[in-house]
Structures are given as structure tokens and as C-alpha cells.
Amino acid sequence: MKQFFFLAILFFNANAVSSQQLRVNIVMKNETKSNSLLGTAILYNLPDSNVITTKNISDRQSFTVAAYKNYLLKITATGTAEIWQHIAVKDSSLNFNLTWRTKTTDLGSVVVVSRKQMIKQEDDKTIVDAEPLANSSSNAYEVLEKTPGAIVDQDGNVYLNSATPAVVQINGREVKLGAADLTSLLKSLPANSIVKIEILRTPSAKFDAASSGGIINIVLKKGVKLGTSGSVNAGYFQGKLNTKFGGFNLNRSVNKINTSFSYNYTNRNNFEELNSNRYLNKDTLYDQKAYTRYPGANHFINFGIDAELNKTLTIGYDMRFSTNNNKSNAENDIDVYDLVTNTQIGKNASMINNRSTSNFISNDIYAKLKIDSLGSNWETEISFDFFRNKNQQSYLNEYLQPANDSVSGKGDVDGRKNIITVTSDLVWKLPRKYTLETGGKFNSSNSRNSSFYYINDGSSNKLDSSQSNRFKYKEEIGSLYLQLSKTFAGFTVKPGLRMEYTNISGTQLFPDDTSLNINRTDFFPYVYIRRDLFKMMGFMLTGNLVYRKSISRPYYEALNPYRKLIDQYLFEIGNPRLKPQFTTTYEFNIQADDFPVVSIGINDIKDIFTSVTYQPDSIVYRTFDNIGKNKETYVRVTGGIPPGDKYVFYAGAQYNHSDYSGLYGGRPLDYKRGSWTFFTYHNFKPSKLWAFTLNGFMRLKGLQNFYEIDPVGQLNFSVNRSLLNKKMNVVLSVNDMFYTNKYTFKIDQPTISAKGERFNDTRRVGLTVRYNFGIKPKEEKTDNFTAPAEGGN
């Protein structure tokens, strides 16, 4: 079947187009008062904005270009308005007629040659322009929530086209934080600090193999290339509880040295309510009602500097620091019923209070060397990340029916993680239009954690060895990759191979001296094939075929056989026998003029490990287990109205079907389920000063760790008003207008049967004010003006 799948797609269109030397021919028309003009034409490569060549231009000029590439042409001359032209080369030479026009001080008279697409495809990467999303958002997290095609759940996990969460990166580097801490970090970033969102559903061999669910890369601005600029922002959101934030950012460029500094403060308050019914042997019911409130405060600082030492070498340093002071106050009531006699036989209550402080600091030192004008470059980066979390807990467990002595105690948790990462990537443009990409990466992560809990016996606190734990963990992953691309006979082919060596060692020091060691070397092939198919309704349809292998490694918390008590009837424990999960992905997608339209794919997952819930008796425990395999098939369709004068519209739907087979709790598992996801984005600008945005998603028959989710979704609306010559924006927004982002769930597996609902303070009304000051870079002076990107990976 796999061989047929490949052959059918490869020969879908049998007419091959011969490889040839292509040219772009420019003819200039003069509408100025000058009889003759001599200007400068600069051709940039996209998307990296490297200069390919610079030529003089008067009446006409031509450039040699490569097939199936994107370029940007800038033409300037004294006394004339700058001309920018986007050039998308297919399989033939192109001709452009452009016009010299007199330069004026009125920006409205600048001729817009091409419009910026909100969503476009570049090889195997989807790029979403963040500007229209940021204009209706208060922070980076909201921008991510509104990104078409990305679904963010209540825990902050992001899903693309798989049941496996995507890896979240900032400026091309993974942020190794848990979902809650990452959510806090993104909510502290101002929305207008984001240049674009890059979505890699099937990453190439250049990227870590541990990205089975894809990659979301948030690209931040790194400063501007002209003068000084900055912004100040503040906002207030009110639901049942409130959140407020404020901050600023500054950018400065002097003598080819660019610096940026930003600070944001967030004071947030949220809650979570969980109501569930759990059944034991179908004759006993555990009715749980839990309410937790999460007040907290966050400070975030970002500093960056880069220097252009010469025309070929740029070096830089980037630092991010985040500190969180959080609390949680939980109340948990459990009633136990005998369903045979319909009587209550038990009642318990618990109160748990936590106070935690976490600090995260990331340091990146990087250098980029431009080797030639064809786009060859060498990038190297060294990163140092430090994370520290300290938590103090107090708890009280009351046994009300049958009456028994209450139990109280406290706990102290101290966790530390240090991460060192070294990466080096080379792109080399070879003769005969071959492109070689190669490089390597080394990552070393060291974790230490101590959790000591004490029981109060009325006179003193005694160590509770059943809950206390102390461990150290080290993970080292080294990788090398090589991939080569070439366009010939109408096909662009990019095969690649990645090798990763994994060395993991973990030791539990208390209560038992245990250890685990994992040493393995794995290879991950990758193939990407692109081909123009045919024209339809004026759009060139392009087919893309992707094949890749990836891995999901269990982390130490999932491996550590430490028993963590959640409440009187529930605990969590790791599984030291866990094996890594391997995924083979096949995808075929079609684009219309670099806009993704249709995707069909298969994720073939072996040794799948997931969170499972087992109930051997009245005590339930959660753990991780390899349950077998899953064949996940997905189809994704998107469409819309491209950027115009007033209205932009995108919408899409995705269908996922999972077919599990294996063992769940030692019993045969044969489980099939399909789910639908719909997403939409609308932006209406009745004038230059007003913008209305509506966006949302809906998921039908969702599935998460074998919990079946009832229909869930969220619809957001915002109004953006520009003031003070567009320097100030006031945004009024309503998130989750109809309060539909509530998870109603059930699970019915051989060892567990339960149902319930879970929801947060997601419906909120907010007001955000943002003021921009200083000199804007030229590429930001108009919504549709396109220029080389200042930011980068």
C-alpha cells in the first residue's frame, strides 16, 4: 500500500518540464519630470532576505534566477519612490513592467506593488503573518490561540495534525518548560513583539526527531534597522476573576549595532473547576467536586544585541528572564455511594495550599556567516538555560463518614534544571543548483529534584516516606543531519537523514536507591518532493509529498517509579519499563499559489506510550504505559479570501481518525474513533482606523489519552481602534464569548470507567492599550508593504 501511495502521487501529472536557465526581465516606465534616470536594483532571496546581486538600472535590466524560488526586488533612484516587487518563479522566465514615480512625503501616494499574504507555504513550512493577529491580541499566547490551524487546549498544549502535542519554539529554539510555565511565559510577551508564526507539521531532517506532533516556531522581532523605536502596553481582563498586565519594549540601532530591551509584568488570577463521577465495579460511585484558584504574578525581561561586523558576519546575544510567584488553593470533596442500596457510605474532604516560586533564564550566543551571494551561510549558536522551582505545600485530609481522625501535613519541593545546547547549521549552494544542508546539535540536560513530605501527628511533623522522593537525572542527545535538494524535470526533491544518539541516566536517591540507563542510536530518514500540477481558476496547484520518521522519548517523571499521592483515592506513579514511541508520517498536500489547500496524511505510531488510568481496587492510579500501536489518518482542507482592501477570511476543517490496537491494563484493546476540528478567522477593516476580528475553533468527538471529549470550542471577538496618527491602538476584546470552552469527558476502558467536566475562567472581557513611539522601520509603514524581514530564526 505504501509503495502504491508513493507511485500514485509521483506520477499524478506525467508531463515533465525540462530544467532550464531562467531570467527575470525588468522594463522601466518613467512618469517623473526627469528625462533620464539611473537607479539601483537589489535582488533579495526569500525567506532569508540575503542579497543575491546589485545592478544599475535605467530603462531595463535582467536577472538570472532559479526555478521554484521566491525573490524580492528593490529599485531606488534619487527623487523617486522606492519600488518593491515580489517575484515568485515557477518553471519559466518572467517579465515585469514597473514605473518610476516622483517621491512624495505623503505615504498614501506610495504605489503598493504586491500584497502580503497572511498565510503562505515555503517548502514544508507554513508561515503565518502575525501582524493582523497581533492587532487584535493582548499577548503572545492569544496570538498563538488565534493562529489558523493551531488548536490550544486547556493545559496549553498545541495540536496541529496529530494527537501528539507540537513542540513550541521561540526564535527557532525549544523552550524546555512545562505547559503551565510556557503558557505563563507567552502571556508575558506583548503581541506586537511577534513577526510571524512558523508551522512545521512535518519537519525536515534539520530539526529534532522528537517532534512527532510538529513544531510551532514563534519568531520575535530583534530590533529595527533605523533609529530608535519602542512601545508601551497595558491591559485589563475581567472574567469571574481578573488579570492585568503592563510593559514596554525599546529598540535602538547605531552604527550597525542593534539592541532591544523589553519588560512585562502580569498579575493574573484564574480558577479550575472539576466535577467527576468514577465507578468501581459498577456498584460503587465516587462523586468528586474540586475547585482550585490560581493567583500569580510574573516578571519577564528580554534583552538582545547583535552587531554586523562586516557584510558577511553577524554576531549576537539574546537573554530572556522570567520569574513567577504563584499560589494555588484547592478544595476537594468526595462522596461515596453504594449504587445497589442507593445510600451514601463515605464522605471525605481535603484542602491543599501551594506557594511556589519559579525562575527561568535563557542565554543565547549566535553567529551567522554569509558565504556567498547565492544564499550559502553558516549559523552557530550556544544556549544556556536554567530553571528553578521551589514549592511549599500544606494539606488537610478530613474523613467525615465514617468518622475518623483527620490527617494534616506539609511538603517542600525543590527542582532544578540546567540545559546546554550547541547547534551548527550550514547551507551551501553547490554547482548545478544543488543545495546542501548539514549540521549537528548537542544537548545536555541535568535535573535534580527533592520532594519531602511530613505528617503532623499532633505534636510534631514526621517524615512521610511514602510521598517523599529525591532523584537526579541526566539526558544527553547528540545529532548530525544531512539533506540535499535539487530541482530537475519540474520536480524539487529534498532527501535527508538524521542520526541521534541518546544517553539517559537517572538515579532515585530516596526512598529507594534505584537507577535506570538508556543508550541508543537511531536514524530518521526524510524525503520531500514538490511538483507543479496544473492551473485551476487562475491558480497554479502544486503538489508536495513528505515522508519522515520521528521519536517521542519518555521523560524522567514518566519513568520514575515514585508514588505521588493526589488525594485519598488517587496517586500517580512512573513506569521504568517505558519504551520510546516511533512515528512514521506520510503526507501529500496541495497548494494554490503557495497557499495550503488540501492535506492528506497518515501517522503510523509504534510502541505508543500515553497516560493511562488503572483501577485495580478502590484506589486509582495514573501512570504511563506502552499500549501498542495507532494508525492515525488525517485530512485537512483550508480556504478563504486573500488580503484585500477591507476583508480577510480564512477557514478550515480537519478530520482525524485513530485506530488503536494493543493492550490496556493487560486486556486486549481495539479502539477506533474519529474527530473533527474546525477553525476560522475573519478580519474586517471598514476604514484605516477601525478593525473588527472574529476567530475561533470547534472540536467534535475529541480524544485525549483515551478520554472522549464532547463538542468543545471557543469564539473570540475584538475591536481595534487606531488613534494619534496610528501610534496608539485601543483593543476591546471578548474571549470565549459563549463560554463553550468547557471539557465534558468520559472514559470507558477495561480498568476504568468515569465521566465529568472541567472548565476554567476562559470567558473574559478585556481592554488593551498600546502606544508606539519613535521611528518605524520602512517595511512597517503600511500594512501591505513588503520588505526583507528584520527578524529571523
**Is residue 71 pLDDT above 90, yes or no?**
no
Quote the pLDDT of residue 786: 31
Work out the average pLDDT over 653-678. 88
| 3-state class (DSSP) for residue 559 | helix
Gap between the Cα atoms of 649 and 144, Å rounded: 17
Q: Which amino acid is at 106?
A: D
pTM above 0.95, yes or no: no
Question: What pLDDT is stored for residue 484 in this prediction?
Answer: 95
So what's the pLDDT on residue 47? 65
Q: Which residues, listed in sequence order, are joined to residue 408 by a DSSP beta bridge?
A: 396, 456
Contact present, 41 and 83 (Cβ < 8 Å): no
Instruction: Look up residue 178 and give its DSSP letter.
Output: -
Residues 6+ apart with CB under 8 A from 50: 44, 370, 373, 375, 377
Cβ-based neighbours of 429, under 8 Å, separated by 6 or more:
372, 374, 375, 376, 435
Query: What grid cell was written down for 731?
Result: 483593543
The residue with cell 497516560 is 611
pLDDT digits (tens, 9 = 90+) for 503-561: 988 887 887 767 778 899 999 999 999 888 888 877 788 899 999 999 988 877 777 77
- Give the cell for residue 610: 500515553
Omega within 30 of 0 (cis) for the link into 616: no
Distance between CA atoms of 543 and 537, rounded to whole angstroms?
16
CA angle 284, 285, 288 (to 5 degrees): 150
pLDDT score for 180:
64
| Four-residue CA torsion sign, 172, 174, 179, 181 | negative
**Mean pLDDT in residue range 653-672:** 87
Read off the pLDDT band of 424 (50, 70, 90): very high
**What's the pLDDT score for residue 790?**
31
pLDDT band at 226 (very low <50, low <70, confident <90, very high): very low
Confidence band of 776 (pLDDT split at 50, 70, 90): very low
The reported pLDDT for the residue numbered 366 is 92
In terms of C-beta density within 10 A (0-12 exposed, 13-18 middle, 19 or more buried), how is residue 304 classed?
buried
More confident of the two residues 598 and 577: 598
Higher pLDDT, 784 or 254: 254
Q: Is the pLDDT of residue 6 over 80?
A: no
**Length of the chain in terms of residues written:** 793
Preceding amide of 495 cis, omega within 30: no
CB 258 within 8 A of CB 288: no
Mean pLDDT of 607-619: 78
- Report pLDDT digits (tens) over 79-113: 788 888 888 887 778 888 888 887 654 433 333 33
Q: Which long-range contacts (CB under 8 A, 24 or more apart) does 564-569 make?
A: 564/451, 564/467, 564/469, 565/466, 565/467, 566/622, 567/332, 567/334, 567/350, 567/397, 568/334, 568/348, 568/350, 568/397, 568/399, 569/286, 569/334, 569/618, 569/619, 569/620
Q: Are strands 215-220 and 167-170 parallel, antiparallel or unpaired?
A: parallel
Q: What is the CA radius of gyration of the chain?
A: 28
Three cell numbers, residue 416: 532544578
Classified as helix, coil or strand, 762 is coil
User: Residue 653: is it exposed, middle or buried by C-beta count within 10 angstroms (0-12/13-18/19+)?
Assistant: middle
Residue 627 Cα distances to 23, 410, 522, angstroms: 56, 36, 22
Q: By C-alpha distance, which of 737, 790, 784, 740 is closest to 764?
A: 737
Per-residue pLDDT averaged across 329-346, rounded? 92
Provide the 10 A C-beta neighbour count for residue 16: 11
The 10 Å Cβ neighbour count of residue 319 is: 16
Main-chain phi, psi angles of 134, to 5 degrees: -65, -30
pLDDT, residue 104, reads 56
pLDDT digits (tens, 9 = 90+) for 250-267: 888 888 888 989 898 888
Cα dihedral 195, 201, 206, 208 in deg (nearest 10): 100
Percent of the chain at pLDDT exceeding 90: 31
Q: Which three cell numbers stand for residue 164?
A: 501528539
217-231, 275-289, 701-715: segment of lowest average pLDDT: 217-231
The residues with which 651 forms a beta bridge, in sequence order, are 639, 680
H or E stretch including 9? helix 2-10
Give residue-wise pLDDT tens across range 566-579: 766 778 888 888 88
Does the pLDDT of residue 22 top 50, yes or no?
A: yes
Per-residue model confidence as pLDDT tens digits over 748-774: 877 778 899 999 998 999 898 988 887
Lowest mean pLDDT among 175-184, 269-278, 767-776: 175-184
How far apart are alpha carbons 89 and 85 in whole angstroms? 12
Beta strands in 642-784 (DSSP E): 647-664, 667-684, 690-700, 702-704, 707-709, 712-723, 728-735, 743-749, 752-760, 764-774
**Rounded distance, CA 473 to CA 475, Å?**
7
Q: What is the pLDDT of residue 109?
A: 37
Residue percentage of the chain with pLDDT more than 70: 87
